[in-house]
Amino acid sequence: MAQQQQETPTKAKVVDIHTHMYPPDYVKILESRDTIPLVRSFPGAPDPRLILLAAEVPSLDEAAKEGAPVPGRPLTKHYSSLDQKIHFMDTHGIDISVVSLANPWLDFLSPQEAGPLAESISEGFAQMCAQHPGRLFFFAALPLTAPLDTILASVAHVSRLKHCRGIILGTSGLGKGLDDPALLPIFSAVAAANLTVFLHPHYGLPNDVWGPRASAEYGHVLPLALGFPMETTIAVARMYLAGVFDRVRDLRMLLAHSGGTLPFLAGRIESCIMHDGQLVREGRAGPERRTIWDVLKEQIYLDAVVYSDLGVKAAIDASGADRLMFGTDHPFFPPLTSDEQGEWESVTLNAAAVSKAIGEGTAENEAIMGGNAVRVLRLYE
Ligand code: 5CU
CATH number at residue 92: 3.20.20.140
Q: Would you say residue 74 lies in a domain?
A: no
Nearest to 36 by CA among 112, 143, 108, 144: 108
Q: What pLDDT is stored for residue 381 in this prediction?
A: 84
- Between the CA of 332 and the centroid of ligand 1 the distance, in Å, is 6
18: in domain? no
Distance of CA 179 to the CA centre of its chain: 19
Residue owning the nearest CA to atom 9 of ligand 1: 329
pLDDT at 308 over 70: yes
| High-pLDDT (> 70) share of the chain, % | 98
Distance 201 CA to ligand 1 centre (A): 9
pLDDT of residue 7: 67
CA of 251 from ligand 1 middle (Å) equals 25
Neighbours of 14 (CB within 10 A): 19
For residue 256, the ligand 1 atom closest to its alpha carbon is 9
Distance from the CA of 247 to the center of ligand 1, in angstroms?
31
Residue 136 region by backbone torsions, left for phi larger than 0, else alpha for psi between -120 and 50, else beta? beta
Check if 154 has its Cβ closer than 6 Å to any atom of ligand 1: no
pLDDT in tens, 33-50: 999 999 999 887 889 999
- Structural domain of 215: 81-377
User: How many domains, in total, are found in the chain?
Assistant: 1
Q: In what order do the strands lie in the sheet with 300-303?
A: 15-21, 96-101, 136-141, 164-169, 196-199, 253-255, 300-303, 324-325
pLDDT-based confidence at 202, cuts 50/70/90?
Answer: very high
Q: How confident is the model at residue 1 (pLDDT cuts 50, 70, 90)?
A: very low
Cα of 377 to ligand 1 centre, how many Å?
Answer: 23
Q: Is the pLDDT of residue 59 over 90?
A: no
Ligand 1 contacts CB of residue 54 (under 6 A): no
* Reported pTM: 0.96
Q: Is the preceding omega at residue 104 within 30 degrees of 0, hence cis?
A: yes
The answer to whether residue 139 is domain-embedded is yes
Lowest mean pLDDT among 145-159, 233-247, 329-343: 329-343
Residue nearest to atom 7 of ligand 1 (CA): 103
Residue 247 in domain: yes
Report if residue 62 sits inside a domain: no
pLDDT band for position 338 (50/70/90)?
confident
In the three-class reduction of DSSP (H, G, I as helix; E, B as strand; rest coil), residue 95 is classed as coil
DSSP secondary-structure letter at 242? T
- Is residue 356 in a domain? yes
Cβ partners under 8 Å of residue 347, min gap 6: 92, 328, 330
Count how many Cα atoms sit within 13 Å of the Cα of residue 74 in the half-sphere of its side chain: 13
